[in-house]
Structure 1
Amino acid sequence: MHAWEAIQKAVDFIEENLQEEISTETLAEIVSLSPFYFQRLFKRLVNKSVQEYIKLRRLSKAIETFNTNENRIIDVALDYGFSSHANFTRAFKETYGITPEEYKKSRPMMNTVTKPEISMNYILIDEGVPLIVGDIVLEIQRKNVTTSEKYIGFTADVNIAEQTPVGESTGIDVPGQLWVKFHKEKMALSNFIDFDIELGMSYMAEPEKGIFQYFAGAYLQNELHDTSNFIIQELPKGEYIICKIEAESFELLVKEALDKAGKYLFGTWLPKHQLTTEPFSAEKYYTNCDNGYCMEIWVKPIQENR
């Protein structure tokens, strides 16, 4: 068994037993490693300590529970291994910046920790060759776009350190909140946009300020003279590397598949191909896919002669 396979086995066991008591020693024994070596290897491959990861996955599942039923906070806390309402509230606020009560009132979009697919770090696919991992399918290819595309929507500043997967952080998901705002107001644009194509764009990064701008909007197919409070953004022509993602449900697509695909593209595929990209990326969402739900991550490679 490879080292990464042992940690993946432990991660899978954690996922199946989040409502049970899980000790580091038990996990180490399951994968036949010493507790000392297991903890070091887990931290290296998951980027979090064993018990911190377990806590964050439990909190993620608690949020899912809040969104699907009206269970009392204390019941959810006890279901996921927290000894009291106070301990659960403390962990929730330390992680997300708000209390469980505040979350249940406003239900903001959140950055949560998803279960990693460690094997993806050790698989290098060729362009145009699909990669199937769990319930998602990835495919990477290059494309030369000869004409620019216009989109209309909203923009917001995002703190780099607080945005996953870049910052590996948790808290309120600013881009997610921007999408909520756009979807509430996009009917005002019904005569001008294509409802089947939407775009999220990260650009204009200012590392010294620790921020980047994020745009959320839809394809502008008819000319609009009065944009009111909306912003028009352009997806420029040029060469792109595109990572297509397919999933069985929209929730799986945006909550897990996008995170895993982004980590694979930026953390494995691009570095292994010795490619760097401009400080820009786009997420293109399609609501009319042949099979399931799909989207694409678009990045612009930096040309060697620049």
Structure 2
Amino acid sequence: MHAWEAIQKTVDYIEENLAQKHTPEKLAEVAALSPFYFQRLFARLVKCPVNEYIKMRRLARVCESLADKNRRILDIALEYGFNSHENFTKTFKSAFEITPEEYRQNPVHLNQVIKPDLLLNYTMIDENVPLITDSIVLEITRKKLDVPEIYIGLSAQVSIAQQTPVGETTGIDTPGQLWEKFHSIKTGIQGLLPDGIELGASMMGASESGFFTYFAGATAVSKATVSGELITWELPAAEYVVCTFEAENFAELTTSALDKAMKYLYSTWLSNRNLITQPFSAEKYYNTAPDANKMELWVIPIPMPVTVI
């Protein structure tokens, strides 16, 4: 068994028994490793100490339970191992910047720490060859866009610290909030192409600014004009690397599946080919129905700069 497989085994075990009490010693037994080596390896591969990871995954599950207003918040907290209402509220607010009561009354989009799929860090695939894991199916292809595509939507500045690394941070999900706002006004927007696709785009500015720009919108008709807070955004004509991936449903597709696909594309596939990208990426959503389960990530690849010593 590879080291990453031992850690994945414990990650799966934690997820299946999230409400139970876990100790590093017990989890080390699951991994068949010494407690010392297990904790070092877990922190390196999951990017988080094991006790912190368990706490963050419990908070993610708690957020789902808080939607049931027939259940007391204290009962939910106790179910997932928090020993008091005060301790739970403090932990929740530290992670998400709001209290559980505020979230229950106004369920905003939140970033969650996701369950990792470590296979994606150690598997390379050729172009046009699907990779199947226990949670997603993805494929890398190349596509050429001969004519720029125009979209109409909204944009916002997003804190890099609160959104990246994807799937490893907590707090308010600003892109998710922007999508919610766009969908609330979409039917009244003039210039959208009927049955056009939706697109999200992340554009990195100067890294020292601490923010990137996120756009959420849909396909526009040619020569569309906008007013007010609406803007147009152009996906330029170029040759793209496209990561297509699938998940069980739309909610899964736009959260954990998107996180895993982004990490695989950037940290594994592009990196191992000595490629980086132009400072933007686009997410194409061809269907936003609840049972939709497929989307694409579009990036323009460029060779990694050669360091001269």
- The equivalent residue for 1:279 is 279
Once residues 286 and 70 of structure 1 are traced to their aligned partners in structure 2, the CA distance between those partners, rounded to angstroms, is 36
1:254-291: CA deviation from partner (whole Å, max 9, x where unpaired):
111001111111111111111111111111111079x9
TM-score by length of 2: 0.93
- The equivalent residue for 1:108 is 108
Once residues 168 and 297 of structure 1 are traced to their aligned partners in structure 2, the CA distance between those partners, rounded to angstroms, is 19
1:120-162: CA deviation from partner (whole Å, max 9, x where unpaired):
1111010010111113110011111110000001000011111
- The equivalent residue for 1:165 is 165
Q: Name the one with the larger strand percent.
A: 1
Q: Between the two proteins, what is the percent identity of the paired residues?
A: 53
- The equivalent residue for 2:266 is 266
SS, match of residue 244 in structure 1: strand
- The equivalent residue for 1:22 is 22
What is the Cα deviation at residue 193 of structure 1?
2.9
- The equivalent residue for 2:74 is 74
Letter in 2 for 1:82: F
TM-score by length of 1: 0.94
Question: Which consecutive segments of 4 or more residues in structure 1 shift more than 6 A?
Answer: none
CA contact (8 A) 2:150 2:222 kept: no
1:3-58: CA deviation from partner (whole Å, max 9, x where unpaired):
00100000000001111111111000112111000000000000000000000000
Once residues 19 and 267 of structure 1 are traced to their aligned partners in structure 2, the CA distance between those partners, rounded to angstroms, is 32
Once residues 47 and 125 of structure 1 are traced to their aligned partners in structure 2, the CA distance between those partners, rounded to angstroms, is 24
- The equivalent residue for 1:155 is 155
Letter in 1 for 2:145: V
What is the Cα deviation at residue 192 of structure 1?
2.7
Once residues 154 and 282 of structure 1 are traced to their aligned partners in structure 2, the CA distance between those partners, rounded to angstroms, is 14
Alignment of 1:227 with 2:245, yes or no, is no
Alignment of 1:180 with 2:186, yes or no, is no
CA contact (8 A) 1:57 1:115 kept: yes
Once residues 238 and 84 of structure 1 are traced to their aligned partners in structure 2, the CA distance between those partners, rounded to angstroms, is 55
Once residues 249 and 94 of structure 1 are traced to their aligned partners in structure 2, the CA distance between those partners, rounded to angstroms, is 30
Letter in 2 for 1:100: P
Unpaired segments of 5 or more residues in structure 2?
none
- The equivalent residue for 1:122 is 122
Moved more, 50-59 or 199-208: 199-208
What is the Cα deviation at residue 72 of structure 1?
1.6
C-alpha distance 179-21 of structure 1, shift in aligned 2 (>3 A)? same
What is the Cα deviation at residue 165 of structure 1?
3.1
Letter in 2 for 1:103: Y
- The equivalent residue for 2:236 is 236
CA contact (8 A) 1:130 1:139 kept: yes
SS, match of residue 205 in structure 2: strand
CA contact (8 A) 1:162 1:168 kept: no
Number of residue pairs matched by the alignment:
305
CA contact (8 A) 1:160 1:166 kept: no
SS, match of residue 67 in structure 1: coil
C-alpha distance 304-124 of structure 1, shift in aligned 2 (>3 A)? closer
Q: How does 1:135-150 map to 2 (within 5 A)?
A: 135-150=135-150
C-alpha distance 288-216 of structure 1, shift in aligned 2 (>3 A)? closer
CA contact (8 A) 1:194 1:218 kept: no
Q: Aligned-pair RMSD on alpha carbons?
A: 2.0
Letter in 2 for 1:23: T
